[in-house]
């Protein structure tokens, strides 16, 4: 099988999550990824838990890559990198704006010697603007863009790192490769994790544009503003996720829980409808609701634990956990599930070795 990124070489100067996940996806699609690490290794190598001396988070994000250990401030660093810099197709970096320029690795310098280079920078706030040099993490990017205000709580997912950093980076790299096919020239990509958080607020933004008022906490339809789209505790302390937005699904759900007809028009008194749904759901255990709703086709599911979800026959049948990260000791870890079509990525049975620091 010919993989879509076969023959593409990627230099990866990134650390932690956004950049490494970006280059993991590129590697799974057939690219050769060379991870440039400082002496002692990137920060993620120290993250617990460790399996036989190897960080499990590092392993699942970097299996299938090569590692080049190099002090970028050393006098001979550029000489060591030059053969790769002049021939690679893609460079991914995740430093604050200006750092790569000070190291002699800025876009203008490298593209002069390698005009076909696609240079992707991933930062919190982008390469310019008043916040460009500001430190931040995922929670900060969701907070400063207003996304977190729609349903204030501790997010369960690193939305900014993954959906604001890694995914847009991959998307733009692939678009830039296609553009290079047409023009023969590479380009500079400025990926700001905070920017993409506004995309996730699309419904609330549309509501604000139409009414002149942006929704507050738990007022937006998709963030707790409707009884039809909410989490309800069950008697045994679990949760029923109700996503019955469309009328046919809502009516099927109302029938299943025997909601009083007067409360089924949730526009009349949303609070009363929500309170009664909560009372009815809390009267039965999660298993009872799962059985009662299984044949109703009403977009309602019990919130599964991660352990339950990873052993779900459906996800096993789709091969989400087929890839393995192979440690130098011979042990393996399940690879990170990635949203890539099976015909566009490496065979799950192909060995994906986790790079050690002694490789160059």
pLDDT of res. 207: 95
Looking up tokens 């401030």 gives 73
Domains of the chain by residue range: 9-198+321-353, 239-302
- Provide the token pair at 268: 């009349």
326 is catalytic: no
DSSP letter assigned to residue 223: T
CATH topology of domain 9-198+321-353: Rossmann fold (3.40.50)
Strand residues in the chain grouped as ranges (E): 9-12, 32-37, 50-51, 54-55, 66-69, 90-93, 118-123, 187-192, 229-233, 239-243, 300-302, 324-326, 332-334, 352-353
> Which candidate in 12, 138, 161, 266 is catalytic?
161
Sign of the CA dihedral running 97, 99, 102, 105: negative
- Alpha carbon 187 to its chain centroid, in Å, reads 24
Sign of CA dihedral 347, 348, 351, 354: positive
Distance CA 60, CA 55 (A): 9
Catalytic annotation on 161? yes
Q: Could you list the pLDDT tens digit for every one of the 360 residues in the chain? A: 799 999 999 999 999 999 999 999 999 999 999 999 999 999 999 999 999 999 999 999 999 999 999 999 999 999 999 999 999 999 999 999 999 999 999 999 999 999 999 999 999 999 999 999 999 999 999 999 999 999 999 999 999 999 999 999 999 999 999 999 999 999 999 999 999 999 999 999 999 999 999 999 999 999 999 999 999 999 999 999 999 999 999 999 999 999 999 999 999 999 999 999 999 999 999 999 999 999 999 999 999 999 999 999 999 999 898 899 999 888 899 999 999 999 999 999 899 999 998 644
Q: Quickly tell me which residue has 């005009």 as its tokens.
A: 115
pTM of the model: 0.94
């Amino acid at each position: 099988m010919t993989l879509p990124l076969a023959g593409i070489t990627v230099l990866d100067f990134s650390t932690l999550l956004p950049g490494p996940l970006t280059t993991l996806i590129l590697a799974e699609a057939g690219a050769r990824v060379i991870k440039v690490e400082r002496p002692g290794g990137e920060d993620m190598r120290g993250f617990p838990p460790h399996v036989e001396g190897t960080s499990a988070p590092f392993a699942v994000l970097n299996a299938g890559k090569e590692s080049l250990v190099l002090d970028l401030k050393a006098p001979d660093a550029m000489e060591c990198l030059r053969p790769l810099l002049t021939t690679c197709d893609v460079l991914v970096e995740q430093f604050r704006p200006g750092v790569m320029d000070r190291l002699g690795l800025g876009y203008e310098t490298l593209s002069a010697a390698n005009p076909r280079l696609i240079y992707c920078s991933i930062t919190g706030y982008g390469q310019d603007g008043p916040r460009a040099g500001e430190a931040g993490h995922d929670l900060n990017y969701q907070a400063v863009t207003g996304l977190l205000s729609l349903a204030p709580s501790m997010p369960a997912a690193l939305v900014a790192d993954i959906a604001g950093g890694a995914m847009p980076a991959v998307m733009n790299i692939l678009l830039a490769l296609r553009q290079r096919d047409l023009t023969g020239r590479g380009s500079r990509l400025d990926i700001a994790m905070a920017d993409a958080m506004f995309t996730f607020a699309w419904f609330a933004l549309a509501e604000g544009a139409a009414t002149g008022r942006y929704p507050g906490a738990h007022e937006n339809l998709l963030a707790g503003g409707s009884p039809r789209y909410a989490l309800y505790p069950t008697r045994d302390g679990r949760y029923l996720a109700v996503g019955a937005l469309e009328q046919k699904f809502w009516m099927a759900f109302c029938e299943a829980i025997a909601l009083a007809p007067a409360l089924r028009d949730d526009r009349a008194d949303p609070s009363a409808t929500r309170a009664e749904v909560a009372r009815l759901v809390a009267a039965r255990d999660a298993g009872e609701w799962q059985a009662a709703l299984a044949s109703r086709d009403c977009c309602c599911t019990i919130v599964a634990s991660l352990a339950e979800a990873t052993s779900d026959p459906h996800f096993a049948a789709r091969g989400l956990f087929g890839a393995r990260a192979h440690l130098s000791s011979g042990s393996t870890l399940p690879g990170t599930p990635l949203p890539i079509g099976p015909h566009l990525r490496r065979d799950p049975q192909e060995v994906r070795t986790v790079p050690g620091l002694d490789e160059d």
